[in-house]
Amino acid sequence: MAASFCKVELMGTLLSAPTMRNTPNGENVCVLPLEVVQPVVTPFGRTVEERLTVEIEAGERLASILQSGLSAGQVLMVEGRLRQYPLQPRGRKTVVAAESIQILGSEDAPTQDYPEGEALDNDMLENMQPAEGEALPY
C-alpha cells in the first residue's frame, strides 16, 4: 500500500453561528460554515478573488465549547483532515474534520468567551478533565 498524508489548514471568516447536527454515523458535531478567500490569476492575467465556502465539523468535545462561543464574522484558523460521507442516491460530500481551531478575532464581532489566539484542540480538552466528583464547567 502506498503512503498517504491528509492535512488541511484553512483561515477564513465564519459565515454564521455554529449549529449542531448528527453525522450519518450518529456522531454529534458542530458545523461551522467557513468562507475562505484566495486570489486566483485568470488566463488573461487578471487577479480575482475566489470565494470558497467550506463546511467544518468539530467533534463532540470541541462542539460543546464552540457552539456557545462563536458568532458570524469571526476569523478562524482551522487545522484538520478531509472526511467524506456518501450522499443518497449517489455522490459524496466532503467536509473538513477539525482537529484544532484558533480564534484570530474580527473587526465586526469581538470574541465572546475566549481570548484571541487561544487554540482549541483535543489535547487541550484532555487536560481539562475535571477531578473525580467535580462538575463540568459547561
Q: What is the pLDDT along the chain (138 residues), one digit of tens a residue?
A: 788 888 999 999 999 988 888 877 788 889 999 999 999 998 998 999 999 999 999 987 787 777 777 888 999 999 999 988 887 778 888 899 999 888 888 755 444 444 455 555 655 555 555 555 555 444
Total-model pTM: 0.68
Kindly state whether residue 137 falls inside one of the protein's structural domains: no
3-state secondary structure 13-51: EECCCCEEEECCCCCEEEEEEEEEEEEEECCCCCEEEEE
Domain that holds residue 76: 8-125
| Domain assignment of residue 2, yes or no | no
130 part of a folded domain: no
In a domain, 51, yes or no: yes
Please tell me the total count of domains within the chain: 1
Q: What is the CATH number of the domain that holds 57?
A: 2.40.50.140
Instruction: Choose among 82, 105, 104, 77: nearest CA to 92.
Output: 82
**Inside any domain, residue 1:** no
